[in-house]
Chains A and B, each alone.
Chain A
Amino acid sequence: MSGSSAAEIVSKLAADYIDETPQKLKLIDSYMVFCVVTGLVQFLYCVLVGTFPYNAFLAGFGSAVACFVFAANLRIKNQPKERRPVLGLASRVPAFAEFVFCHILLHFVVANFLG
């Protein structure tokens, strides 16, 4: 590995990601990218147009951020066993059920806050 250039490192990283990451985690990753893009678009709109319906901005932007966080949690809990960090909190509920429950709650809150 020694003496490899930055480009080599990046291409090795990408190749390893494509080869070794389970498809479920790739799904989550693309979902997280989607969250970031949605949040950024709303933030740019707010910067350009102004903060007038501020509650609506908070709801829309917060929705994207919260979805990102939930997805990150789901991803942590679904990593291969040897890479999974020791969280100390053993949940008996499957991670996906938690993910769904949080989302339902989140979207109710967002719809209320949207104005």
Chain B
Amino acid sequence: MRFLTTFAACLCLGAFHVQAKSTAGDRVVVFVPKLDAASEYSQFLDSLGTRGFDVSFEGDRLYDHAIVLSPSSKKFGSGISVSDFLSFVDSGGNLIVAASHELSDIHRKLALQFGVTFEKRGSRVVDHTSHLAATVNQSDHSVVAAKQFAQVDAVLSKKVVGGKPVLFKGIAHAYDAANPLLVPLLTGARTTYSAASSAARSDVVLTGMSIGLVSAFQTRSNARVVFSGSADLFSNRLLGQKAAGNTQFVKEISQWAFQEKSVLRSTAHRHHFAATGETPEHYRVNNEIVYEVDLSVYYDDAWHPYVASDVQFEAIMLDPYIRATLNRTESNAAHATYHGDIKLPDRYGTFTFRVNYKRTGYSNVVVQDTVGIWPLRHDEYPRFLSAAYPYYVGSLTMVLGFLALSAAWLWNTEPKKAKSKTN
């Protein structure tokens, strides 16, 4: 593969350069096997252009997003290795990787780093009951009509999940279901299996739901990576099919991958005394405080208030002493405010106030402050406790009783009738 700097001009992208619709930036690099090959994906790439991306076909970390549409390439140009892609993602770059049945080792190695294990080279996903009717060879059922979408609202809208099946022609991958960062977006149906194209079917390993077709990965630093076992998914041939939902599906996964939607952020957070509203340098045990955090979500080219009922506040000193759900109190055009009335624990020490919000498909939001909680000074305790009044009275009556007895003892005169027995 070569770097084709000149091709950028062919797509007339300068015109779309004006507005970035992604929160992460507007520079996309596309890896294609040959310059001509880009025309195979022109619908998809043009749609990126209309979404405000500056698409060009070469790479360095001059880019915010990368699309790898060259499954059979053995290298990505001179000097670009798997570790370059990893550091690209580590530094916040977003990546879409499309494979096919002839994918090369470099794709496989790259995918393995994200818990995605592609099947053996040459194997294909086949489904004999749900497929696109082949025009040439009627026994070729390798263009699978897949509709096992993941119920991840942040990535796939109801329009996709409840819509037409997605045509998929390519290779399956196994996904690590235990990996919380990896979400299979599209999987095989019960009738789907992965097999080598040869007649021998004995090497079937992946079947049904365990077949990953398209998977999404979000790193802890909120970079997003999408693996598709099919590069054809993005091709004009399959995007153009009337009966297929490819257009909407590809639009939504690329919007998600390029941080055009489901990007969460906290614009501000604050905590203060409930009574006075001021933020002290440190709190005292059992103080009543207010904690608030503002959350926004990005979609449709703008920041909107983020609406949820599961935002939690934690006060942590090794263990969480408090974990309380925050209530959404007000929303303006840009953010929603989540509010909590918190009573600090009866425990002094250095605490961390944290909102640790990680939900599938949304960017991770971690907001934290280190706050000291001090004990009361010796003269700040209440002097008299109402619960102890009976004891105060009890000890006082003992004093009075003692005085009374002493007085009676000292001024006692034995009655005259006293018997002679007494002393």
Q: Which of B387, B405, B422 contacts A22 (CB 8 A)?
A: B422
- Tell me if A53 and B387 are in contact (CB < 8 A): yes
CB neighbors of A among B354-409 (8 A) = 385, 387-388, 390-392, 394-395, 397-399, 401-402, 404-406, 408-409
Main secondary structure of the interface of A (DSSP, over half): helix
Chain A residues within 8 Å of B418, by CB: 22-23
Q: Given the complex, which residues of B lie within 8 Å of A38, measured CB to CB?
A: 394, 397-398, 401
Q: Chain B: which residue is nearest A52 at the CB level?
A: B387
Number of interface residues, chain A, beta carbon within 8 A: 39
Of all chain B residues, which has the CB nearest A44?
A: B390
B281 at the interface (CB under 8 A from A): no
Q: Please give, as numbers and ranges, the residues of chain B lying within 8 Å of A19 by CB-CB distance.
A: 419
Binary contact track B300-317/A, C-beta < 8 Å → 1, others 0: 000000000000000000
Interface flag for B319 (CB, 8 Å):
no
Q: Does A12 contact B (CB under 8 A)?
A: no
Hey, which chain B residues are within 8 Å of A39, CB to CB?
A: 394
**Which one, A24, A31, A80, A107, contacts B421 given CB within 8 A?**
A80
Query: Is the Cβ of B391 less than 8 Å from the Cβ of A35?
Result: no
Q: Which residues of the partner chain A approach B415 to less than 8 Å between Cβ atoms?
A: 23
B412 touches A (CB below 8 Å): yes
What is the chain B residue whose CB lies nearest that of A83? B423
Give how many B residues have a beta carbon under 8 Å from the other chain's beta carbons: 26
Bound complex: CA A115 to CA B382 (Å): 10
Cα of A24 to Cα of B408 in the assembled complex, Å: 8
CB of A103 within 8 A of CB of B421, answer: no
Name the residue on A nearest B391 (C-beta). A60
> Is B409 a contact partner of A60 (Cβ separation < 8 A)?
no
Provide the residues of chain B in CB contact with A13, threshold 8 Å.
none
A107 touches B390 (CB 8 A): no
| Interface check A27, CB cutoff 8 A | yes
Within 8 A of B (CB), among A73-115: 80-81, 96, 100, 103, 107, 110-111, 114-115
Is the C-beta of A45 less than 8 angstroms from some C-beta in chain B?
A: yes
CB-CB under 8 A from A56, the residues of chain B are: 385, 388, 391-392
B395–A114 CB distance below 8 A: yes
Given A31-B401, A52-B387, the answer on whether A81 and B423 have CB atoms closer than 8 Å is: yes
Contact of B409 among A27, A45, A49, A57 (CB under 8 A): A27
Q: Which residue from B385, B408, B421, B423 sits with its C-beta under 8 Å from A53?
A: B385
Q: Do residues B399 and A107 form an inter-chain contact, with CB atoms below 8 A?
A: yes
On chain B, the residues within 8 Å of A21 by CB distance are: 422
Is there an interface contact between A103 and B412, defined as CB atoms closer than 8 Å? no
Contacts A31-B405, A53-B387, A59-B391 known; A22 to B423 CB distance under 8 Å? Answer: yes
- Which of A21, A31, A38, A60 gathers most chain B CB within 10 Å? A60
A67 with B401, Cβ < 8 A, contacts A57-B391, A115-B385 known: yes
Is B203 in contact with chain A by the CB < 8 A criterion? no
Cβ of B405 and Cβ of A63 under 8 Å apart? Answer: no
- The residue of chain A having its C-beta at the shortest distance from the C-beta of B413 within the complex is A23
- Tell me the A33-68 residues at the B interface (CB within 8 Å): 34-35, 38-39, 41-42, 45, 49-50, 52-53, 56-57, 59-61, 63-64, 67
| B395 CB to nearest chain A CB (Å) | 5
Residue in A23, A35, A50 whose beta carbon sits within 8 Å of that of B414 in the complex = A23
B residues with a Cβ closer than 8 A to A are 385, 387-388, 390-392, 394-395, 397-399, 401-402, 404-406, 408-409, 412, 414-415, 418-419, 421-423
A to B CB contacts below 8 Å, 28 in the list = A22-B414, A22-B418, A22-B422, A24-B409, A24-B414, A27-B408, A35-B398, A35-B401, A38-B398, A42-B391, A42-B394, A52-B387, A53-B388, A56-B392, A57-B388, A57-B391, A60-B392, A60-B395, A61-B394, A63-B394, A63-B395, A64-B394, A64-B398, A67-B402, A107-B395, A111-B395, A114-B392, A115-B388
The 3 A-B residue pairs with the shortest CB-CB distance in the complex, in nearest-first order: A60-B391, A56-B388, A60-B394
- Extra pairs beyond A42-B391, A60-B391 (10, CB < 8 Å): A19-B419, A20-B422, A23-B414, A24-B409, A27-B408, A38-B398, A38-B401, A67-B401, A103-B402, A115-B388
